[in-house]
Amino acid sequence: MEGEPATTPTPVEIPGNIDPVRRAALAKVAELSGENVYECMQCGTCSAVCPMVDSMNFTTRQGIHYLQFGMVEKVIDARIGEYCASCHTCQVRCPRGIEVPKIFEAVRLLSLRMNEDLITLSEIPKETLEGAPQIAMVSAFRKLTA
């Protein structure tokens, strides 16, 4: 509808038994993504369709589960956000309509906004920079550099 915000953000109700530090990290993920991880019913479809899931230390479904416990740092360590290719298959298949890519973008941003690059430009081989289309550099740097 014209004039209204695209999503009316509802505050995510984080269970009281999650410790304050984790609570703050999860609240940040909720704020940046606009998504409620507690809507996830852990069906595992996102993991099943994720093209990069084998590269991640644990699956996307597990990632959401860890987030439900506020264990954001574990999700960062699992490098889910780093290996995500932003293909959005998880989003279109999620039976709850959760915008999963936004959640993992939020996790990525927790590092990036602290000026921590997730890839290092100087480590990219020169031949790659010469041979890859500009679109590859623009998208990789936007998603993975601070």
Partner 1 sequence: MRIAYYPGCTMKTRAASLELAAVEALNVLGVEFTELERWNCCGAVFSLAEDDLIHHVAPVRNLVRAQQEGCDTVVTICSQCYNTLARANLLVRGDQEKLETINRFMDEEPDYEGGIEVIHYLTLLRDHVGWDALKAKVVRPLDGLKVAPFYGCTLLRPDEVSIDPLHEGVLEQFLLALGAEPVAHSAATECCGSYQMLAHPEEGMQRAAKVIGSANHAGAEALVLSCPLCEYNLGTRQSDVVAMGGELKPVPTLYFTQLLGIALGLEPDLYRLDLAGPEARDLLVEKNFVAAATV
Partner 2 sequence: METAVVPEVATKTVPIFVMGKKYEVPDTLTIMKALEYAGYQYIRGCGCRGGICGACATVYRKAGDYKIYTGLACQTVVEPEMYLAQIPFYPANRASYDFEEIEATPESIFKLYPELFRCVACNACSKVCPMDVEVLDYVSALKRGDIKAAAEISFDCIQCGLCTSRCMGEMAQYHIAQLARRLYGGKLAPKAEHLQKMCDDIEAGAFDEELAKLKTLGVDDMKKIYTEREMEPAMSDESWKPASSAGLA
Q: Report DSSP letters for 131-145, one per residue.
A: HS-HHHHHHHHHHH-
Q: Pick from partner 2, partner 1, none: which does 114 bind, CB < 5 to 8 A by kind? A: none
- The token duo for 5 is 């915000």
Pick one of partner 1, partner 2, none as the site partner of residue 105 (Cβ within 5 to 8 A by kind).
partner 1
Place of tokens 């500009």: 134
Q: Which of residues 82-101 bind partner 1 (CB under 8 A)?
A: 82-83, 85-89, 91-92, 99, 101
Q: Which residue has the tokens 């995500």?
A: 84
**Amino acid in the structure at residue 140:** A
- 57 is an interface residue for partner 1 by CB under 8 A: no
Q: Which residues within the stretch 94-123 sit at the binding site for partner 2 (CB under 8 A)? A: 121
3 state DSSP class of 36: coil
Residue ranges binding partner 2 (CB under 8 A): 121, 124, 126, 129-131, 134, 137-138, 141-142, 145
